[in-house]
Structure 1
Amino acid sequence: MDAAAVYREKLDRLEAVINGKEPDRVPVTAMMSLFHAHYSGYKATETIFDFAKNKEAALKVARDFDFDSLLVLTGLEATFMSMAFMHSGPDLVPTARFMEGRYHDILKDVYTKWPGRELAEDSHPQFIGKEILKVEEYGQFTEDPSTFMNRVALPRICGALSDPGSPESIAALARYGSALAASGAAMGDLVSEFAGCGIPTFPMAFSYSPLDVLGDFLRNINNLVLDCYRHPDEVKKAAEAITPLLIESARITGAVPPEMQKALGTNVVECFFPLHLNEYLNPKLYEEFYWPYLRKVFEAVIDMGQTPYVFFEGRHDAHLETLLDLPKGKIIAVFDKTDPRKVRDVLGDHVILSSGPPNSLLIGGTPQKVDDYMKSMLDDCKEGGLLIFPGVDGGISGEAKPENVRAVIDAVKKYGTY
């Protein structure tokens, strides 16, 4: 088949699962940050800071591995940036959603560390939490979260913006804007090249859990958990105040131009959510402080016609039943440590299940062990539709063995047909 026919076949397979149907076989959906670099003989610094090398490495993986979809992410979470621009620069929100190494060089943010800068050249970039919002500032934040993020938080987060209105700050913002445009163009080019390889890409919107915004970017996780006991009303008011902004984030980033939808050949828009605090909260705290606000965002995103694509990081076992509050078959759920069999036992096909082998197996296992793992999981979980996500704990590791990644695809073709 030519690339266009392969593209259509893979897109049909993916859309079938998202629409609650069983396709010809289970699709394999891959995400990676450094696997493509190492597979192509590059260090982390080369693909993170060089568009051409990143593209070359990504296309080599696209051609050598028969994935049904492929996402290459070289950035880290930066919802704090997109929230700051929500009202003053909404056109920047889609590209400001991630912190790239280039942006870090310009902005001097305190959250992230990068290979060749603070880390060794072939290290994975790191996100480091920090207290930005002081406990006595909850009221100021709740009154106007966007203004607080723009005028108070950003100067504390980004060294280059520490003196708002100064020539240094204005110059940094100008350079940042240029870097956003360059990264956006490079990503668009890569998506087009993937299509030429027969690999479809869904438009991707972005949102976040309200409590995770507080924990990840403002209070730090440890402080926030304590705040739930010591300052519960302030935490709830802050989460409530953030909720409309996160709904607006999904609306802005998910506004796909008709010409793009036509080029991609799909009406599906996925909305990415990474969940972090879920593992740290007992069911009482989760259902009081976390779930009510996240549920509002989920429901609004679903009402927009988008499909939440949710990473349930850590162990989500204690909170699975809350997902029955949502409409059936409307979210794609990737579970980091929760056994997919337990998900099936508790939820059946209420969510679109995405799972796969952990990176420990892809790094330290053998093709035969991968094959055994995949056969067991597919036999137990493929009924009703399933998406395979290799390296379920964060995407395919840069240290994964290529032969083990191929074994995932081979196993799906053997045991994942309907």
Structure 2
Amino acid sequence: MPQDMEQLYQERLNRYVTAMRNEKPDMIPIRPFVAEFVAKYAGMTCQDVAHDYTKAFEAAVQCARDFDWDAVVANMVYVWTGLAQAAGLRYYGIPGIGIPANTGFNYIEPPEEQAFMREDEYDELIDDPTAFLYNTWLPRVSTEVSKIGEPATYRNNIALTKSAMAMMQYFYAFGPQVGRLRSECGTASAIAGIFKSPFDIIADKMRGYVGLTMDMHKQPDKVLKAAEAIMPHVVNVGLTTADPNNQVPIGFWMHRGCVPFVTPQQFDSHYWPTLKPCIEEFWKNGHQTLFYAEGRWRHHFDTFRELPERSIVFHCDQDDIFEVHRKLHDRFAISGGVPNMLLSWGTPEEVRQFVLRVIKEVAKDGGYILDAGAIMQNDTSVENMKMMTQVCREHGVYGSGTYKTPVATPPCDLPSSVESRKKVTGLAGRPAPHVKPGVCFPWEQRAKDLPEITGDKALVQKVWEDVDALGNMYIWQMLLSF
């Protein structure tokens, strides 16, 4: 790649990393989470970027190049609906198939009586979450996959094969896409890895919100045990998909844990005890977590302060960004807070004035990354996006002499961070699940089915476990990502 583009990339990455350290870079980094907005800007439909990820990739590159942003997600329209169709997933409204082609894909939560997990199935989930996903959950969420005990149909077989191969194809395409952003735009990749809280998973794709609400009254102990059973598995997904260089954070999409979805008491009894150890485990392993706090989370700001300094980047959606700054900035970097309604329906002058205030009051000491409150769809105004970017570039430059080129270490490897990582508990001391995270069919069971191994037993075991892990990746990514 051209030397000047690589230099630009390194400058932007350093700027972004410095801000995530809660320190002051040379200027405020811009990291917009743009989804269907990229389709609008590139002259494409929502169907184009949801159903053909190569078009989504192209639109993301075009936006990054034209807007002069520091970091973006390689594809914020992350759910590839071509894969969702291959698997026959019931819970998506797909642009151009049953809904308008220029409406973003959407999640359709089933009625309570058709929830993908029944109220009497907690024990099965607790015993072996991975087996539950394959045996019970997948046949219910798919129009194609046969239930256990039913004949394996032609459609069942090809759906599993196509969707698994499509997932690998899609995931392998992200490496070159990140490379394009770097070489063609000088833009850093904003996040790596995926994580959701165990409580959110039960609410989102298993019991549904209504079902979980009833369970919290009828059988709260079962809910807690289920969330605890899920913890090591989602941590495994987060760690195995995280940035190997420990520079950009693991993305954590926060859904049902805020008021009014659950009470503060339920947050304290179920949500936080099964979330905090996961975030600590990421920190122990050198990774920050991006708290993408969808909704309003002000009731829990004091609780978030229990986490180690710098261990998270708090993204502000519907909370007051100025209150977030007052409550959290001394411990964590902050991003977002520019209202989506303002970017969609406000005037450019209103955008200008709000961003100027954010620069003056929130970003004045560093540790701030400019972004909207929530993921930007195709209702976001191009003119307002240009204004937000322009104002930040013109007025978001820190005073001469305040910026020092950061030491070439990731956010979690600063001396103070290294010490705090030694003090957190994470998942240590918790009972190990009888089927380890990352495993579907344990080698110990498989070995009983094989003839005597006369050669290199360790080689046979390693290859079995490596391939078995792919089966584990498929079902957990289906749950978390699609």
Q: If the length of structure 2 is used for normalisation, what is the TM-score?
A: 0.77
Aligned to 1:66: 68
Q: CA deviation at 1:27?
A: 0.5
For 1:36, the equivalent position in structure 2 comes to 38
- CA shift at 1:255, angstroms? 6.7
- Give yes or no for the alignment of 1:114 onto 2:94: yes
Q: Is the 8 A contact 1:49 1:102 kept in 2?
A: yes
Q: Which ranges in structure 1 are unaligned for 5 or more consecutive residues?
A: 77-98, 262-266
2:178 to 153, 166, 191: 191
- TM-superposed CA distance for 1:388, in Å, is 3.3
Matches within 5 A, 1:324-339: 324-339=305-320
- Which digits, 9 at most, give the CA deviation of each residue in 1:61-95, with x for residues without a partner? 1221011111153556xxxxxxxxxxxxxxxxxxx
Inter-partner Cα distance in structure 2 for 1:30 and 1:74? 10
Q: Does the 8 A contact of 2:26 with 2:397 survive in 1?
A: yes
User: How big is the shift at 1:416?
Assistant: 1.9
Q: Name the aligned partner's letter for residue 268 of structure 1.
A: Q
Q: Is the 8 A contact 1:191 1:201 kept in 2?
A: yes
2:138 corresponds to 1:138: no
5 Å-filtered alignment, 1:353-392, equals: 353-392=334-373
Question: CA 1:417 to 1:354, structure 2 compared with 1: closer, same or farther past 3 Å?
Answer: same
Give the Cα–Cα distance (whole angstroms) in 1 for the partners of residues 291 and 223 of structure 2.
Answer: 23
What SS class does the counterpart of residue 114 from structure 1 fall into? strand
Supply the AA of the counterpart residue of 1:365: G
Alignment partner, residue 23 of structure 2: 21
- Tell me if 1:315 matches 2:296: yes
**Residues 265-285 of structure 1: CA distance to partner in whole angstroms, max 9, x if unpaired?**
xx4142111111122122111
The residue aligned with 2:154 is 167
Give percent identity, aligned residues only.
26
Deviates more, 1:185-194 or 1:370-379: 185-194
Q: Which amino acid aligns with 2:137?
A: A
Q: 1:302 to 1:154 in 2, by over 3 A?
A: same
Quote how far apart the aligned CAs of 1:383 are: 3.5
- Pair 1:63–1:312, CA change in 2 (3 A): same
Q: Does the CA contact (< 8 Å) of 1:330 and 1:352 recur in 2?
A: no
| Displacement of 1:112 | 1.1
* C-alpha distance in 2 between matches for 1:269 and 1:41: 30
Change (3 A) 1:402 1:286: same
Deviation at 1:51, TM superposition (A): 3.9
The aligned residue for residue 268 of structure 1 is 247
**1:278 is paired with a residue of what secondary structure?**
coil
Q: Which of 337, 341, 352 is the aligned partner of 2:322?
A: 341
User: Which residue of the other structure, out of 50, 54, 57, is the alignment partner of 1:55?
Assistant: 57
Q: Which residue of 2 aligns with 1:92?
A: none
After TM superposition, the structure 1 = structure 2 runs for residues 205-224 of structure 1, keeping only pairs within 5 Å, are 205-224=193-212
Partners of 2:211 and 2:365 in 1: how far apart?
Answer: 41
1:390, 1:396 within 8 Å by CA — same for their partners in 2?
no
Give deviations 1:163-186, integer Å, cap 9, x for gaps.
454432221111112211321233
d(CA) in 1 for partners of 2:67 and 2:77?
A: 23
1:11 Cα deviation from its structure 2 partner: 0.7
Say if 2:72 and 2:190, in contact at 8 Å, map to a contact too.
no
SS at match of 2:281: helix
Cα separation, partners in 2 of 1:391 and 1:162, compared to 1, 3 Å? farther
Give distance in 1, aligned partners of 2:54 and 2:224. Answer: 45
The aligned amino acid for 2:164 is G
Report if aligned partners of 1:145, 1:241 keep a CA contact under 8 Å in 2: yes
Q: Which digits, 9 at most, give the CA deviation of each residue in 1:135-154, with x for residues without a partner?
A: 11111111111111111110
Counterpart amino acid of residue 133 in structure 1: M
Distance in 2 separating the partners of 1:152 and 1:75: 28
Q: Structure 1 residue 402 and structure 2 residue 385: aligned?
A: no
Instruction: Give the match for residue 147 of structure 1.
Output: 131
Aligned 8 A contact 1:48 1:74 in 2: no
Alignment partner, residue 12 of structure 2: 10
Among 219, 236, 243, the alignment partner of 1:248 is 236
Is the 2:20–2:368 contact (alpha carbons within 8 Å) kept by the matching residues of 1?
no
Which of 46, 63, 85 is the aligned partner of 1:105?
85
How many pairs were matched up? 386
Structure 2: how far apart are the matches of 1:226 and 1:166? 36
Take 1:163 and 1:139, find their aligned partners in 2: how far apart are those partners?
19
Alpha-carbon separation, structure 1, partners of 2:369 and 2:76: 21
Structure 1 residues 181 and 275: alpha-carbon distance in aligned structure 2, compared to 1, 3 A threshold? same
- 2:318 touches 2:337 (CA, 8 Å); kept in 1? no
Equivalent position of 2:266 in the other structure: 285
For 2:435, the equivalent position in structure 1 comes to none
- Displacement of 1:366 in angstroms is 1.8
Q: Which residue of 2 aligns with 1:237?
A: 225
1:228 aligns with 2:216: yes
Inter-partner Cα distance in structure 2 for 1:371 and 1:207 = 34
Out of 84, 88, 107, the position equivalent to 1:127 is: 107
Looking at structure 2, the residues matched to 74 and 347 of structure 1 have their Cα atoms a distance apart, in angstroms, of 26
Instruction: State the alpha-carbon separation in 1 of the partners of residues 269 and 12 from structure 2.
Output: 41
* Partner AA of 2:274 in structure 1: Y
Instruction: Give the secondary structure class of the aligned counterpart of 2:228.
Output: helix
> CA 1:299–1:347 in structure 2 vs 1: closer, same or farther (change >3 Å)?
same
Shift of 1:254: 2.2
Q: Hey, what's the Cα distance between the residues in 2 that align with 1:66 and 1:269?
A: 19
Q: Deviations over 1:266-313 (max 9, x none)?
A: x41421111111221221111111111010111111111111011111
Structure 1 residues 163 and 139: CA distance shift in structure 2, 3 A: closer
Gaps of 5+ in 2: 399-482
The one of 280, 285, 294 equivalent to 2:275 is 294
Distance 1:283 1:203 in 2: 29
Which structure is larger by alpha-carbon Rg, 1 or 2? 2
